[in-house]
């Protein structure tokens, strides 16, 4: 077993030590997994049991601004609100940052602005930690590649290793104990017609963190032994659907993968369910629409919100059928 500090020392060998830049701002997109990460083989380094594949959400993500200050403590502002040092998020963020700090380094003012609801199962920890490592890369002048930053981001939160790129990203599970081969790989497929519809069932903090839920699922679900094979099948189907631009195959495999993840959680002891009444009603609506020949699928993460998958042609119908939907164009990248 390796510690985070050992891995960081390995990645930062020969890089500058100490603060190089007083002030900066970076951005990282959120990502939605079409093939999910659920379960770790190493919970210190966030090494996954299986590979996963995501689509980044373009302008939906985390802006991270830092400033070196002459103060005794670090300050954190989240979405315009000052966050107390006792707060879970403050502690998680600064214990991560402290992995990179040397004694006597100046304190920081950090402002994170998330364009998606925090802790509502919309992958905000992914864009959050990806933006943090991009910010540290500027602060310390490391000049690391996106792949190296992906390794560092994973140490903060597993899914963050997929948020260093736009578009489709595969997180390869790797087999090394030090995790140096467990990394995000950007895929070259482009699909400008692809749309993601965000349906917010609740923006409350989730009842159980995904970190805890995946540990309980892996340890106690009688279905978990089937998960690696399910992922292998779905991942292969999703990659071939991307290569052939076969939306029906993509939708089927993505939805099946999400359902399998939630079914596996339901068999955990105690059972874990992230859905609420709205989620269930939307799922039924999507299934009925498919019976009526509409090409629409869903995926769901560790929260009650649903993400619709559809193509540009269906936009008007979707807006009419789901008036509360927020539509994302993953390939609309602002200059």
Interaction site with ligand 2P0 (CB under 6 A): 33, 36-38, 46, 52, 123, 125, 157-159, 210-211, 301-302
The residue with tokens 């939306």 is: 247
Burial of residue 176, with CB atoms counted within 10 A of its CB: 0-12 exposed, 13-18 middle, 19 or more buried: exposed
- Residue with the shortest CB distance to ligand 2P0: 158
Residue 52 or residue 56: which is nearer to ligand 2P0 going by CB? 52
Closest distance between ligand 2P0 and the C-beta of residue 19, in Å? 27
Burial of residue 219, with CB atoms counted within 10 A of its CB: 0-12 exposed, 13-18 middle, 19 or more buried: exposed
Task: Mention every residue, 6+ apart, whose C-beta is less than 8 A from residue 182.
Answer: 45, 47, 48, 151, 154, 161, 171, 172, 173, 174, 176
Residue 211 or residue 267: which is nearer to ligand 2P0 going by CB? 211
Closest distance between ligand 2P0 and the C-beta of residue 49, in Å? 11
Residue 167 or residue 289: which is nearer to ligand 2P0 going by CB? 167
Residue 46 or residue 314: which is nearer to ligand 2P0 going by CB? 46
Closest distance between ligand 2P0 and the C-beta of residue 259, in Å? 12
Task: Mention every residue, 6+ apart, whose C-beta is less than 8 A from residue 114.
Answer: 61, 62, 63, 78, 79, 124, 127, 128
Closest distance between ligand 2P0 and the C-beta of residue 153, in Å? 10
Residue 44 or residue 243: which is nearer to ligand 2P0 going by CB? 44
Half-sphere exposure of 282 (CA within 13 A, CB side): 27
Closest distance between ligand 2P0 and the C-beta of residue 172, in Å? 13
């Amino acid at each position: 077993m390796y510690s985070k500090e050992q891995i960081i020392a390995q990645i930062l060998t020969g890089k500058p030590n100490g603060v190089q830049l007083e002030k900066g701002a970076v951005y990282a997109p959120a990502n939605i997994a079409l093939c999910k990460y659920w379960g770790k083989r190493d919970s210190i380094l966030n090494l996954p049991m299986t590979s996963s594949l995501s689509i980044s959400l373009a302008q939906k993500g985390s802006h991270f601004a830092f400033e070196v200050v002459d103060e005794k403590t670090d300050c954190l502002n989240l979405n315009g609100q000052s966050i107390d040092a006792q707060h879970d998020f403050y502690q998680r963020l600064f214990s991560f940052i402290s992995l990179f700090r040397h004694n006597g380094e100046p304190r920081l003012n950090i402002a994170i602005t998330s364009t998606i609801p925090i802790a509502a199962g919309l992958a905000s920890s992914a864009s959050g930690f990806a933006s943090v490592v991009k910010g540290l890369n500027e602060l310390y002048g490391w000049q690391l590649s996106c792949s190296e930053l992906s390794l560092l981001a994973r140490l903060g939160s597993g899914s963050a290793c997929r948020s260093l790129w736009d578009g489709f990203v595969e997180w390869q599970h790797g087999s090394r104990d030090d995790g140096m081969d467990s990394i995000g790989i950007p895929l070259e497929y482009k699909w400008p017609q692809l749309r993601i519809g965000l349906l917010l069932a609740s923006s409350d903090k989730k009842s159980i963190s995904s970190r805890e839920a995946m540990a309980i699922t892996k340890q106690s679900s009688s279905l978990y032994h089937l998960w690696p094979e399910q992922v292998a099948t779905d991942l292969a189907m999703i990659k071939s659907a991307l290569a052939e631009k076969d939306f029906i195959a993509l939708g089927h495999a993505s939805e099946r993968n999400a359902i399998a993840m939630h079914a596996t959680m339901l068999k955990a002891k105690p059972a874990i369910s992230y859905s609420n009444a709205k989620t269930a009603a939307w799922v039924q609506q999507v299934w009925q629409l498919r019976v009526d020949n509409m090409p629409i699928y869903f995926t769901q993460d560790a929260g009650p919100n649903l993400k619709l998958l559809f193509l540009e042609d269906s936009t008007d119908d979707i807006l009419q059928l789901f008036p509360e939907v927020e539509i994302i164009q993953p390939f609309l990248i602002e200059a």
